[in-house]
């Protein structure tokens, strides 16, 4: 089997894995009335306010999906929009105190899930997988040769 064939096989598996991760994330945060998409959005602004476009870039989401998640989180009182002094057209999205509390409550469940799921591989395999995924993403994000 050629490297291209193996890459195609990997791409198929990654798409199935992404779906499985989304379903697992939905289950982890269902108790909080969230979805994986909203959880990803909360996590994106956990370290400071971001624009919707920056949230989408950071989480690999479409801008429209990020905007929908922000609107739902805002309606739930988990985030607020604030004016961006550097760009009046694009407000910044920030966590509320309630949003921080929700994220803090999710952390132990996420950690337990990650430890249990990671048991299928050793640390070296996981590190190699992360490095390969990062190199492939960087190659795809760079201009075509």
Domain of 70: which CATH number? 1.10.10.10
> What pLDDT shows up at residue 50?
96
Number of domains within the chain: 1
Domain housing 67: 3-141
> What pLDDT shows up at residue 89?
87
> What pLDDT shows up at residue 145?
61
C-alpha span between 99 and 73 (Å, rounded):
9
Indicate if the pLDDT at residue 45 is higher than 90. Answer: yes
Under the banding of pLDDT at 50, 70 and 90, the label for residue 88 is: confident
């Amino acid at each position: 089997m050629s490297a291209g064939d193996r890459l195609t096989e990997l791409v198929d598996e990654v798409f199935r894995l992404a779906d499985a991760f989304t379903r697992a994330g939905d289950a982890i945060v269902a108790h909080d009335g969230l979805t994986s998409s909203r959880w990803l959005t909360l996590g994106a602004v956990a370290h400071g306010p971001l624009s919707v476009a920056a949230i989408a870039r950071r989480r690999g989401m479409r801008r429209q999906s990020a905007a929908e998640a922000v609107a739902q989180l805002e309606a739930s009182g988990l985030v607020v929009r604030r004016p961006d002094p550097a760009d009046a057209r694009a407000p910044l999205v920030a966590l509320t105190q309630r949003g921080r509390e929700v994220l803090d409550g999710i952390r132990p469940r996420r950690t337990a899930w990650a430890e249990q799921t990671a048991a299928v591989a050793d640390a070296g395999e996981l590190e190699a997988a992360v490095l390969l995924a990062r190199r492939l993403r960087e190659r795809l994000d760079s201009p075509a040769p």
